[in-house]
């Protein structure tokens, strides 16, 4: 009689189960399950007794069974090490003292050694109330031979360290961590009060823990990095009840008081789905902050974010505070709040503030990104539209006449052109404005990467468009220079550089589609030949005989006519699309754009725009100015002094202009932005009148258009500008710049 095919399978499974059981692989998890869910805790009323009884039977397997559950600890320590390195660089002689509150087995301290050597700390104190866990820690540190680590069995609400015996502890500690311990401390108010007392003004507090939150974060929560913080009713209710069985309190009060007591540097909201991915998702957060008593300096840029006021200052503010210069004020000020009266002068803003002070603050290591309240319009942008900038800055520089005294206003886009202006002229101020917060996140990443990376890593990110270790660079080097919102975005999108970065974002859709079309047409090799051509004659011949028939094919032209594709892939809105249709149609527009280029500029080394579009990456010989070695070195020189000029606004152009003082600007570039408006729109007049107000006499504004004669030129003239064409396409024979995507380029001078 033949055995059923299932019998051998069952026999092998039984043998495997027997081996696993005998080997003890699962024994730690059996211990964990018993003591967490079955073992009785009755008869013990005090916190120390509960902790000792709960962990006594599982202390030896604590670390082995918590790796999957307690996510974010490694990231928290990596971020902390990066910020501490910045602190140590600015204050090399300052004592570095770390207190790990609720550190248990000492796992965090051992893990920190991978990011920052334990020997760099003058003293480390592990404080915990659970003796069974501390016994594991003592053995761990003795084995490592760390003599600067001290283990103390103390209540976190009244902790003290030996070196305070004969000195005032106020401001004596550089670094404090709470790793999955804040939710376990019943009296968390005195703990955080004591932490604030002993932490130095430039010190760092780092927390990682579980949490729950309401469905709709408040404005101040959003302003300090509340992305993805909200929890649904089921998640919020279930985890509150579940963790309460083990005396772990996930109520929002702990995190709220933490963010009230300290200024936020970084905030990341994640979901732990280690048990059943996409179904069981425990909310956890990583938070880094510092005392509000920080000094106004290059390492502390704080912003009030309560009641609609987002004016740069440092808290606590006196009753009468002066904040200068006014041009750094965030737009959309809500004037007339009961607690605030705003008086304007050209050079400064004076604010009268009556107690109570704002509860929430937004701290940055750099002054670039101005905080913003997340509005519904911001949520319409899931990612950046433009991963590269599609305007020719070399043509801009021929007409701008920039000097180091200029104050420039520009649309952020991907930031390439603004960085070009910084390399070429180092203006005193460069305001970058974009309603899409993701464009601001991209620009922040570029600024931060210039600040902290070496050229090879920087070019790998933004030249080649890929870097195998982006996540490591983000946490260990870049993060200290990013706002909390930008860090959260890049932490979520940490795989953006795993393949070609320039194939991402909405503009990446167009590049991917073109790549598919070229492959389908069998001209991929011709694309490579075109980008490596040594002469204009050879380049033009390849274009006309091989690529032109593909791109001017009726099917491709029909796709380019589609309004959905125009917006989602090319970023061309309906009104702009209508302008080019009225002046000749899509076929004529594409023909007039592309035909002159191959005989005007070599893609190999003189037209990085189309080389990127065709190949998906830059080369050192064909790239934007900021990606060249010389450009990068200029931006990085003197600790990135040139970068201090940047201010990144996340708002509409007109709102940002309203926040600037009269004569605050000398140059403004609005790209093709006005093409987006409906002809005759009152919003255009409003924006142009604001441009006229903020530009100094003789100042100029520049714009490009899909039309040869844009309708709004008359609006500029009506508001006191002298309008001059700088380039107007006349057909397919000559390009007006290296992109040639726009039909005209204009300047308006304030008279």
- Residue 655: which of 379, 373, 416, 422 has the closest Cα? 373
Task: Give residue 446's pLDDT.
Answer: 98
Last residue of a domain, one of 591, 612, 633: 612
47 domain-assigned: no
Task: Give residue 6's pLDDT.
Answer: 58
- Over residues 162-202, the pLDDT tens digits come to 999 888 999 999 999 999 999 999 889 999 999 999 999 88
Whether residue 214 is predicted with pLDDT greater than 70 in this model: the reply is yes
- Residue 161: which of 201, 132, 197 has the closest Cα? 197
Higher-pLDDT residue of 743 and 247 is: 743
Query: What CATH number is associated with residue 200?
Result: 3.40.50.150
Lowest mean pLDDT among 233-247, 265-279, 601-615: 265-279
Same domain, 585 and 628: no
Range among 131-140, 306-315, 343-352, 683-692 with highest mean pLDDT value: 683-692
pTM: 0.83
Task: Give residue 277's pLDDT.
Answer: 54
Where helices occur in 162-231 by DSSP H, the ranges are 188-198, 219-223
Query: Residue for token digits 């083990």?
Result: 246
Same domain, 9 and 152: no
Give me the mean pLDDT over the 605-625 stretch. 93
560 domain-assigned: yes
Other Cβ atoms less than 10 A from the Cβ of 292: the count is: 20
Same domain, 393 and 521: no
Last residue of a domain, one of 337, 364, 391: 364
Residue 404 phi/psi, 5-degree rounding, is -70, -10
- Over residues 502-518, the pLDDT tens digits come to 988 777 777 888 888 88
Whether residue 554 is predicted with pLDDT greater than 70 in this model: the reply is yes
String of DSSP letters for 533-579 = -SSHHHHHHHIIIIIHHHHTSHHHHHHHH-HHHHHHTT---HHHHHH
Task: Give residue 566's pLDDT.
Answer: 59
* Residue 153: alpha-carbon gap to chain centroid: 39
Beta-carbon contacts of 471 under 8 Å, excluding residues fewer than 6 positions away, are: 494
Lowest mean pLDDT among 189-203, 322-336, 531-545, 566-580: 322-336
- Over residues 280-300, the pLDDT tens digits come to 689 999 999 988 876 444 445
**199-210 and 282-291 strand pairing:** antiparallel
Same domain, 260 and 169: yes
Percentage of residues in the chain having pLDDT higher than 70? 77
State the Cα–Cα distance between residues 32 and 112, nearest whole angstrom.
Answer: 25
Residue 2: give the domain boundaries.
1-30
Give me the mean pLDDT over the 671-693 stretch. 92
**Dihedral over alpha carbons 368, 371, 374, 380 (to 10 degrees):** -10
- Residue 269: which of 109, 69, 489, 454 has the closest Cα? 489
Higher-pLDDT residue of 311 and 92 is: 92
Whether residue 645 is predicted with pLDDT greater than 60 in this model: the reply is yes
State the Cα–Cα distance between residues 217 and 234, nearest whole angstrom.
Answer: 17
721 domain-assigned: yes
Whether residue 48 is predicted with pLDDT greater than 80 in this model: the reply is no
State the Cα–Cα distance between residues 72 and 461, nearest whole angstrom.
Answer: 25
467 domain-assigned: no
For residue 32, name the pLDDT band (cuts at 50, 70, 90). low
Give me the mean pLDDT over the 54-75 stretch. 69
Last residue of a domain, one of 291, 321, 344: 291
Question: Chain-wide mean pLDDT for the chain?
Answer: 82
Same domain, 569 and 434: no
Answer whether 139's CB lies under 8 Å from 60's CB.
Answer: no
- Over residues 405-439, the pLDDT tens digits come to 999 999 999 999 999 999 999 999 999 999 999 99
Please state whether the peptide bond connecting residue 316 to the residue before it is cis, i.e. omega within 30 degrees of 0: yes
Higher-pLDDT residue of 385 and 326 is: 385
- Over residues 591-605, the pLDDT tens digits come to 888 999 999 999 999
Same domain, 155 and 243: yes
396 domain-assigned: yes
Same domain, 284 and 185: yes
String of DSSP letters for 256-310 = HHHHHHEEEEEEEEEEE-SSSTTTS-EEEEEEEEEETT--SBTTBEEEE-STT--
Same domain, 602 and 668: no
Task: Give residue 361's pLDDT.
Answer: 59
227 domain-assigned: yes
Task: Give residue 679's pLDDT.
Answer: 87
Whether residue 705 is predicted with pLDDT greater than 60 in this model: the reply is yes
Same domain, 185 and 320: no
115 domain-assigned: yes
139 domain-assigned: yes
Task: Give residue 34's pLDDT.
Answer: 53
String of DSSP letters for 118-136 = GGG-SEEEEEES-HHHHHH
Same domain, 165 and 274: yes
- Over residues 626-643, the pLDDT tens digits come to 999 999 999 999 999 999
- Over residues 334-375, the pLDDT tens digits come to 322 222 222 333 333 333 322 333 445 566 678 898 888 777
Task: Give residue 602's pLDDT.
Answer: 94
Same domain, 531 and 595: yes
Task: Give residue 91's pLDDT.
Answer: 77
Task: Give residue 346's pLDDT.
Answer: 31
- Over residues 305-344, the pLDDT tens digits come to 333 333 333 333 322 222 333 333 333 333 222 222 223 3
Same domain, 547 and 639: no
Higher-pLDDT residue of 488 and 215 is: 488
Give me the mean pLDDT over the 490-495 stretch. 92
Whether residue 569 is predicted with pLDDT greater than 60 in this model: the reply is no
What domain count does the chain have?
5
Lowest mean pLDDT among 84-93, 208-217, 693-702, 715-724: 84-93
Other Cβ atoms less than 10 A from the Cβ of 403: the count is: 11
430 forms beta bridges with 408, 646
Lowest mean pLDDT among 193-207, 221-235, 240-254, 342-356: 342-356
Radius of gyration for the alpha carbons in the chain, expressed in angstroms and rounded:
30
Percentage of residues in the chain having pLDDT higher than 90? 53
Task: Give residue 509's pLDDT.
Answer: 77
**Burial annotation 360-381 (CB, 10 A radius, 16+ → b, else e):** bbbbbbbbbbbbbbbeeebeee
Task: Give residue 330's pLDDT.
Answer: 34
């Amino acid at each position: 009689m033949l055995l059923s095919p299932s019998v051998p399978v069952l026999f092998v499974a039984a043998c495997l189960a027997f081996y696993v059981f005998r080997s003890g692989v699962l024994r730690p998890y059996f211990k964990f399950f018993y003591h967490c869910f079955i073992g009785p805790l009755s008869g013990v009323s005090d916190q120390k007794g509960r902790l000792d009884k709960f962990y006594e039977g599982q202390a030896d397997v604590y670390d082995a069974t918590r790796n999957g559950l307690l996510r974010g600890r490694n990231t928290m320590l990596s971020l902390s090490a990066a910020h501490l390195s910045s602190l140590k660089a600015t204050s090399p002689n300052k004592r570095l003292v770390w207190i790990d509150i609720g550190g248990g087995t000492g796992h965090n301290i051992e893990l920190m050694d991978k990011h920052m050597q334990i020997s760099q700390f003058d003293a480390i104190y592990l404080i915990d109330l659970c003796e069974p866990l501390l016994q594991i820690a003592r053995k761990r540190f003795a084995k490592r031979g760390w003599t600067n680590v001290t283990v103390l069995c103390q209540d976190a609400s009244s902790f003290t360290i030996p070196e305070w015996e004969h000195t005032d502890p106020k401001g004596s500690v550089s670094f404090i961590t709470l790793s999955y311990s804040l939710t376990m401390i019943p009296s968390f108010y005195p703990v955080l009060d004591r932490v604030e007392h002993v932490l130095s003004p430039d010190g760092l507090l780092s927390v990682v823990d579980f949490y729950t939150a309401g469905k709709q974060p408040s404005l101040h929560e959003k302003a300090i990095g509340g992305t993805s913080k909200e929890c649904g009713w089921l998640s919020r209710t279930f985890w509150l009840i579940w963790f309460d069985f083990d005396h772990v309190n996930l109520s929002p009060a702990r995190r709220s008081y933490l963010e009230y007591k300290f200024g936020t540097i970084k905030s990341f909201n994640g979901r732990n789905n280690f048990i059943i991915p996409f179904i069981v998702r425990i909310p956890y957060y990583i938070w880094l902050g510092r005392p509000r008593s920080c000094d106004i300096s290059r390492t502390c840029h704080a912003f009030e974010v309560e009641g609609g006021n987002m004016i740069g200052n440092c808290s606590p503010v006196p009753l009468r505070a002066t904040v200068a210069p006014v041009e750094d004020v965030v737009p959309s000020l809500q004037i007339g709040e009961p607690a605030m009266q705003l008086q304007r002068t050209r050079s400064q803003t004076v604010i009268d503030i009556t107690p109570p002070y704002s509860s929430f603050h937004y701290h940055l290591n750099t002054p670039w990104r101005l905080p913003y309240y997340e509005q519904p319009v911001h949520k319409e942008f899931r990612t950046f539209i433009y991963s590269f900038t599609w305007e020719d800055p070399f043509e801009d520089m021929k007409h701008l006449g920039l000097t180091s005294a200029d104050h420039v206003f520009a649309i952020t886009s991907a930031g390439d052109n603004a960085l070009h202006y910084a390399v070429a002229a180092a203006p005193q101020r460069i305001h970058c404005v974009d309603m899409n917060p993701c464009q601001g996140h991209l620009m922040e990443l570029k600024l931060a990467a210039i600040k902290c990376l070496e050229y090879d890593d920087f070019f790998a990110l933004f030249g080649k468009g890929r870097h195998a270790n982006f996540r490591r660079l983000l946490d260990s080097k870049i993060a200290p220079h990013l706002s909390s919102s930008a860090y959260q975005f890049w932490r979520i999108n940490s795989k953006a550089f795993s393949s070609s970065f320039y194939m991402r974002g909405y503009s990446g859709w167009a590049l991917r589609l073109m790549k598919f079309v070229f492959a389908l047409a069998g001209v991929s090799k011709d694309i490579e030949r075109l980008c490596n051509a040594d002469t204009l004659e050879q380049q033009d011949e390849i274009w006309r005989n091989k690529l032109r028939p593909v791109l001017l094919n009726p099917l491709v032209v029909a796709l380019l006519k589609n309004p959905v594709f125009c917006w989602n892939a090319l970023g061309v809105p309906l009104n702009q699309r209508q302008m080019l249709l009225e002046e000749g149609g899509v076929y004529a527009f594409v023909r007039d754009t592309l035909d002159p280029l191959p005989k005007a500029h070599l893609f190999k080394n003189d037209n990085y725009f189309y080389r990127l579009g065709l190949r998906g990456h830059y080369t050192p010989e064909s790239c934007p100015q900021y990606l060249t070695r010389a450009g990068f070195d200029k931006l990085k020189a003197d600790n990135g002094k040139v970068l201090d000029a940047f201010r990144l606004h996340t708002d509409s152009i007109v709102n940002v202009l309203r926040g600037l003082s009269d004569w605050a600007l000398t140059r403004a570039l609005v790209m093709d932005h006005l093409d987006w408006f409906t002809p005759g729109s009152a919003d255009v007049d409003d924006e142009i009148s604001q441009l006229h107000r903020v530009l100094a006499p003789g100042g100029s504004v520049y714009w490009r258009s899909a039309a040869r004669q844009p309708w709004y030129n008359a609006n500029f003239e009506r508001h006191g500008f002298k309008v001059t064409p700088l380039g107007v396409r006349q057909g397919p024979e000559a390009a007006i710049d290296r992109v040639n995507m726009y039909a005209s380029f204009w300047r308006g001078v304030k008279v």
